[in-house]
Amino acid sequence: MRDFARGDPSASGAPRPDPLGLAFDAAREAAARGEVPVGAVVVRDGAVLAVAGNRPRADRDPTAHAEILAIRAACAALADERLTGCDLYVTLEPCAMCAGAISFARIRRLYFAAGDPKGGAVEHGPRFFNQPTCHHAPEVYGGLRESEAAALLRDFFRDRRS
């Protein structure tokens, strides 16, 4: 047993998920497909509802960011247009589009790994959740496993240039 053995009385013997770890796995899978390596996971009450990696190239869809795909899949799983009580884990600071979707989805908490000074919209750029036109802001926890996330992106873009 690994460290997820720490007891959760609600768990029926199932291992506790490591949502950010799953998001990193999805990001690496995206990189292997030639997509920018970003992964996202939606969790509610300790259960993983959706895991997604970036797919704009594969889907020929500029909106197919990992966060959007994970939110769509979680909404489908819950048959609900809102993800009340759900938390989103993502390997990179969300962009403006995804920050908007996170707000509309009523995500409770946002956990992200690396900040994105070039494209992020949470701690950078528009700082969407701080705007008066944003009507639901999640609790935000950034900088988790930041160096690992930054290395993932750096390696991806270095390999593409070479």
Annotated binding site for Zn(2+): 65, 95, 98
Instruction: Identify which range of 26-34, 43-51, 57-65, 137-145 contacts Zn ion by CB under 5 A.
Output: 57-65
Instruction: Answer yes or no whether residue 65 interacts with Zn ion by CB under 5 A.
Output: yes
Which C-beta is closer to Zn ion: that of 26 or that of 98? 98
CB of 20 to Zn ion, least distance (A): 17
Hey, is 88 helix, strand or coil?
Answer: strand
Among residues 29, 35, 67, 139, the one annotated as catalytic is 67
Q: Which H or E run contains 102? A: helix 96-104
Q: Is 123 an annotated catalytic residue?
A: no
| Whole-angstrom distance, CA of residue 96 vs CA of residue 125 | 8
CB of 125 to Zn ion, least distance (A): 12
Identify any residues that bridge with 138 across adjacent strands, giving them in sequence order: none
Q: What is the DSSP letter of 7?
A: -
Annotated binding site: 65, 95, 98
Instruction: Identify which range of 73-81, 87-95, 102-110, 143-151 contacts Zn ion by CB under 5 A.
Output: 87-95
Structure tokens at 72: 């769509």
Lateral strand order in the sheet of 39-44: 47-53, 39-44, 86-92, 109-114, 139-141
Instruction: Please give the positions annotated as active site.
Output: 67
Residues engaged in binding Zn ion (CB under 5 A) = 65, 95, 97-98
